[in-house]
Amino acid sequence: MHPLAPRLGYHFKTWAFCMHRLENSANRLRPSPLRLLCAVSLQSLSMTTDVSRPSNPRGRVPVPRIHSDTKVAIALADESDRPELYGLRHQVYALELGQHPPNSAQRLTDPLDAYNLYFKAVVAGRIAGFVSVTPPGHSYSVDKYFAREDFPFRFDDGLYEVRLLTVLPSHRRLALASLLMYAALRWVESQGGTRIVAIGRVEVLSLYRKAGLQPLNRKVTSGAVTFELLTATLPELVRSVDRHKRELFWLERRVDWQLNIPFHASRTCSHGGAFFEAIGEDFHHLERRDEVISADVLDAWFPPSPRVISAIGENLPWLLRTSPPTNAGGMVRAIALARNIPTECIVAAAGSSELIFLALRDWLDGKSRVLRFDPSYGEYTHVAERVVGCRVDKLALRRDDDYALPLAKLELELASAFYDLVVIVNPNSPTGGHVPRKQLEEVIARIPSRTRVWIDETYVEYAGPGESLEGFAASSENVVVCKSMSKVYALSGVRAAYLCAPAPIAHALRQITPPWAVSLPAQVAAVNALEDSEYYAARYAENHHLREQLASSLRGIGLTVCPGSANFLLCHLPSGSPNAALVSQRSRMRGLYLRTGEEISPVLGVHALRIAVKDLQTNRRIVAILQSAIQVERRLQQSARPLFPVVS
């Protein structure tokens, strides 16, 4: 028995094991022109089978490994490698598997090799395995079997196909396939790729799904073998890799990485904003904004106050060329006046993310412990785990309870263990649930002062007047309230926020805040917004009605809608229906961008969607597009059968 076997439990829970299992499935394929397409994208983690290995009578497959005395080099193959690669393809796919008839040249190649890239694994100076990547701008293998209009995504310059994953028989007990597929993913990621497409056997579909690929309900049969078309975006695949960081670090220590890209990518937290793919991040076609519905981000659906627009519009050239007040003093005084809190308890910043990075990096270290709810805003986990490197514990929210924050469970956890920081997002994102101020104050008051409590109130104004804990925080010893001005004041584009805390905590943070942290347009916009509370109160009331109308319409097309109190709704597609990723991809074809629950937290499952509230007309468009996408995907799902036979 492999020494890791008891810990793994033989349930395919590790990334390396999934890779190995997929490898063991792929080379069992008998003659089929689709065999060359079976290698999956990087996280698809499909692998080739050692057909010469005797079957395991207990049905267990050893965990793939690299022996301590084995040195594996991963590199980009060059033209001088091509003859050997084509010969190995003939050896495996013609002689070993019989997929193609042997030929006198003893080489296998195809038209895609004119522009394909190959990544090779080298052991003892010889190629032991390889994988091929088809870049955009050319034909793909999938073009031979499916019409492009059948795909729920565009064939653009971000689409890559990963194929031909091959490991030679003598090396199939090594984790070469894992390394090759990871190399392909890192290369696609470094090239700015946004999506990977692949084909996988239906018998191992669950492993593809665990790796991050989503089936598209498009099947094709080759002889007795049925394949399903799969795809995933790069962020989805990256998240799959990140769930297995421990195994990845283990592999890194055993490889000679010769690619001109780092082994590890620089990771950021995943957010919405994919709609900019349609507009263009070069900003040369801003008129396209009217063609898309950016329901994947939670920006306000209404414009800023007329006072803000007037102040910015009338003074824009001067605002752009002039340095702002060094410490945003006028903005701080306007906040203090509007919120009735002392100026010494306020720290101004260019958005709440700046405050999160500023404070958590100062307060925490590798030995710290953080407690937060899940699902919730992901930036906190990103900074604590990836940037600081400390431990983050999560209290899972339950769908049966409408994802309500379990405050009693929070108190029990804090009574049993010490935490340096507790993070509470209220109203919570992405669920929209809100804990009334008085109830939350009672719980927080019982938390020991040695534990800091961070309350994110980005959406609290939508929950109603008098719900902020800013005054409570200012008079406490350990409570901090973070207030973004983006979502409730329609100022996302200028980046303005502030933090309210006990004076000593605020003073310490101001000492490490750089000068001119908030731009002049942002300071001017923030001051004028705070002085026009009447305008915003009317918008919050209107948002309440729009949210309820949208919720009713979504329920009318079969979605389950969680109760919310902000400018968005968390919904669930019916069980057995197409998953949220497919519906989201289909919706994008008509300009509607949504956020899937899987992107935010595994707790939400594969059928969750978060949808931003928009104006009445746009909300109607959202429902119509969403209903159409669900219907199309449901028809495809119900008719999931081989689209056409492929003759070997």
* Angstrom distance (rounded) from CA 598 to CA 580: 8
The pLDDT, as a whole number, for residue 222 is 61
CA atoms within 13 A on the CB side of 167: 34
pLDDT tens-digit map of 147-192 = 888 788 889 888 999 888 888 988 877 678 778 888 988 899 888 8
More confident position, 345 or 52:
345
Q: Is the pLDDT of residue 511 over 60?
A: yes
Contacts for 79 with CB less than 8 Å, ≥ 6 apart: none
How is domain 5-47+82-257 classified at the CATH fold level?
Aminopeptidase (3.40.630)
560-561 sheet: strands from edge to edge:
560-561, 568-572, 608-612, 595-596
The H or E element containing residue 481 is strand 479-484
What are the start and end residues of each CATH 3.40.630.30 domain in the chain? 5-47+82-257
What are the start and end residues of each CATH 3.90.1150.10 domain in the chain? 276-298+535-638
Q: Which residues of 184-211 are buried (b: 16+ CB within 10 A; e: fewer)?
A: bbbbbbebebbbbbbbbbeebbebbbbb
Q: By mean pLDDT, which of 150-164, 295-309, 458-472, 601-615 is the weakest?
A: 150-164
Residue 50 banded pLDDT, cuts 50, 70, 90: very low
Compute the Cα dihedral for 289, 292, 297, 300 and give only its sign: positive
pLDDT tens-digit map of 417-457 = 999 999 999 999 999 999 999 999 999 999 999 999 999 99
CA 375 to chain centre: 13
Q: Is the pLDDT of residue 319 over 50?
A: yes
Pairing of strands 195-201, 225-233: antiparallel
* DSSP string covering 380-392: HHIIIIIII--EE
- Tell me, what amino acid is at 638? Q
- Token readout for 407 is 């405050």
Task: Report the SS3 class of residue 137.
Answer: coil
- pTM here is 0.71
Strand partners, 482: 456, 499
* DSSP string covering 531-561: T-HHHHHHHHHHHHHHHHHHHHHHHHTT-EE
Q: Is the pLDDT of residue 4 over 60?
A: no
Residue 253 banded pLDDT, cuts 50, 70, 90: confident
**494 closest CA partner among 299, 639, 286, 287:** 299
Q: Is the pLDDT of residue 44 over 80?
A: no
How far are the Cα atoms of 41, 53, 90, 137, 212 from residue 164, in angstroms, in the given order? Answer: 10, 21, 12, 19, 19
The pLDDT, as a whole number, for residue 573 is 94
Q: Is the pLDDT of residue 488 over 50?
A: yes
- Tell me, what amino acid is at 593? Y
Across the range 403-426, mean pLDDT stands at: 95
Instruction: Say which CATH class 306-531 falls into.
Output: alpha beta
The pLDDT, as a whole number, for residue 33 is 30
More confident position, 205 or 298:
298
Query: What's the CATH number of domain 276-298+535-638, 3.90.1150.10, 3.40.50.300, 3.30.1330.60, 3.40.50.2300?
Result: 3.90.1150.10
How far are the Cα atoms of 219, 526, 589, 593, 594 from residue 297, in angstroms, in the given order? Answer: 33, 21, 18, 9, 8
The pLDDT, as a whole number, for residue 204 is 60
What are the start and end residues of each CATH 3.40.640.10 domain in the chain? 306-531
